[in-house]
A = this chain, B = another copy of it.
Amino acid sequence: MGTVNAAAPRPMRSDAQRNYDRILEVASAAFAEKGVLTSLDDIACRAGVGPGTLYRHFPSRDCLIAAALGESLGRLDALAGRLKASDDPGAALDEWLLAVANHLRTYDNLPESIAEAFRTEDSPLRASCRPLTETTSLLVRRAKEAGAIRADVEPLDIFALVSSVAWASQRRGDSDAGLRRMLALATTGIR
């Protein structure tokens, strides 16, 4: 073909970009303050746009959540890079799981949304978790090879375990220390 390739993503129009940014900014704040179940119309309103505009940019709540999670995800990614180079696979996995659990607590009710997203094939929120599950898989494999954890636990089980601990600690309003404790308790069994 003549054109370079499939999606030539022509840049957003300036007003569109501006609105996109404003919505994202307001949404992040709202999610942080009231959890991911906040009214979307309300977010649109606070961002000074109509509901239609919000839904055009982010067709579903999950899209918006996924976008708002970008920053936290970036931090996780940086950590992942460091941990992949670690020479203590057991400790690396521990640190990673704690970081993932904390990520899941970024917003109230986030664990529920993510768990739900995992039930539908093409959820944007699930897609945003991709690097997260992949890193988990890698670190689990390394830990197994190093004999730091049992050979018969699957990465997905571990992810589920961490999610559920994040869920519980959020429901209980636990502190960071509380999360750490629960996570340690729940993950003892993988060793």
Contacts and interface: CB of A to CB of B under 8 A. Distances in A.
Interface of A: 112, 115-116, 118-119, 153, 157, 160-161, 163-165, 167-168, 171-173, 181-182, 184-190
A84 to B, nearest CB: 25
A190 to B, nearest CB: 7
What are the 5 tightest A-B residue pairs by CB atom distance, in nearest-first order? A188-B189, A164-B164, A164-B168, A115-B171, A185-B189
A172 B184 contact: no
B161 A185 contact: yes
A189 B184 CA distance: 8
Nearest to A153: B185
17 contacts: A112-B112, A115-B171, A119-B173, A157-B182, A160-B168, A160-B171, A160-B182, A161-B168, A161-B186, A164-B165, A167-B168, A184-B189, A185-B189, A185-B190, A186-B189, A187-B189, A188-B188
Contacts of A165: 164
Nearest to A109: B112
Contacts of A189: 184-189
A6 to B, nearest CB: 35
B115 A168 contact: yes
A54 B18 CA distance: 48
Given A112-B112, A167-B167, A160 B187 contact: no
A59 to B, nearest CB: 23
Residue of A115, A153, A173 with most chain B CB atoms under a 10 A cut-off: A115
A61 B182 CA distance: 30
